[in-house]
Amino acid sequence: MYKVSLITGDGIGPELSESAISVFDAINDKLGLKFDIVKLSAGDKALAESGKALPDGTVETIKKSDACMKAPVGESAADVIVVLRRMLDLYANIRPAKSYPHMPALRDDIDMVIVRENTEDLYTGKEFSVGNSAVALRIISETASKRIAKFAFETAKQRDSMRKVTCVHKSNVMRITDGLFSRACNEISKEYPEIFFEEMYVDACAMNLIRQPEEFDVIVTTNLFGDILSDESSQVVGGLGMAPAANIGDSFALFEPVHGAAFDIAGQNVANPSSFLLSIKMMCDWLGSKNNDSKCFEVGNKLESTIFDLVKSGVKTKDIGGSMTTTEFTKQITDNL
């Protein structure tokens, strides 16, 4: 039995959470892998009710669970996910971008993963004013750079793909910070002679994600660049609705959709839950690796193939041009598991 904390979030978050719970129930009933789901509050609603976007009780429950699922939250997102990343040392942000049938992808053969350093860079929030100027500190360390590079190479090693790592930076301009990141990735690459290694400036990478996205396998980059490029890569494969994400540390992991809370369609039962449900697949893979549990891998693969077959048949939710509600789409998945 795996205990999973589920932050239900804001906007479409509660609807996606109910979709996820239905899938967990189906896994429990049909596939023989058992999950105990604990619903938790964090985000705008929690801030209004308790004065904290991330209540202490939520944090304590997350720490006692085997993994955490987080639905989208609203304007207080930084006070939830950024805090959890640092608190739990979830240093690797993993965002796959994969072509799915009947989605507006640029090509049908895209299958890449962006491995983003999750703890440093400009996202540490170290900003201050000096007279009439504003200054932000960009912190890049050798320790964090080597750690994320190693994670990227291990990811490439495990994938059934072209086994390539692309280090993305801007060392021709930011010579000290990105220069350090580049050197760290180069040094780690020597430990993996079987993995092809290349470097690319971030502007060239942004262009090539449009021009030849099929040429990428694993991209490793810094926090800010990874945030931007992962949204771009998601759009290249048809939008954020099919884009899951993981925040992984050495002993804990949190899984979420890439997209936001989408308040404009909240409560209408039209949101595509696929990105959140594919995050369950990522969670199963992580639990399988961490606990040497082959059943987790089987369940994760079954869930992804069920979603793949469903969208291949042309079934879509209303928010992406289909006719199904969130509830109907989810029932199709649970029926087919």
Residues annotated as catalytic (active site), given as ranges: 123, 170, 203, 227, 231
Task: Report how far residue 260's alpha carbon sits from residue 262's, in angstroms, rounded to the nearest whole number.
Answer: 6
Q: Cα dist. 289→37, 71, 253, 297 in Å?
A: 20, 23, 12, 8
- Are 107 and 99 contacting, i.e. CB atoms less than 8 angstroms apart? yes
Q: Cα dist. 96→85, 128, 213, 280, 281 in Å?
A: 19, 35, 13, 13, 12
Task: Report how far residue 39's alpha carbon sits from residue 17's, in angstroms, rounded to the nearest whole number.
Answer: 9
Q: 132: Cβ–Cβ under 8 A, 6 or more apart, which residues?
A: none
CA geometry: angle 29, 21, 65, nearest 5 deg: 95
- For residue 159, give both structure tokens: 């994938």
Q: 195: Cβ–Cβ under 8 A, 6 or more apart, which residues?
A: 153, 156, 157, 163, 164, 165, 189
Task: Report how far residue 256's alpha carbon sits from residue 251's, in angstroms, rounded to the nearest whole number.
Answer: 17
How many Å is the Cα radius of gyration of the chain? 20
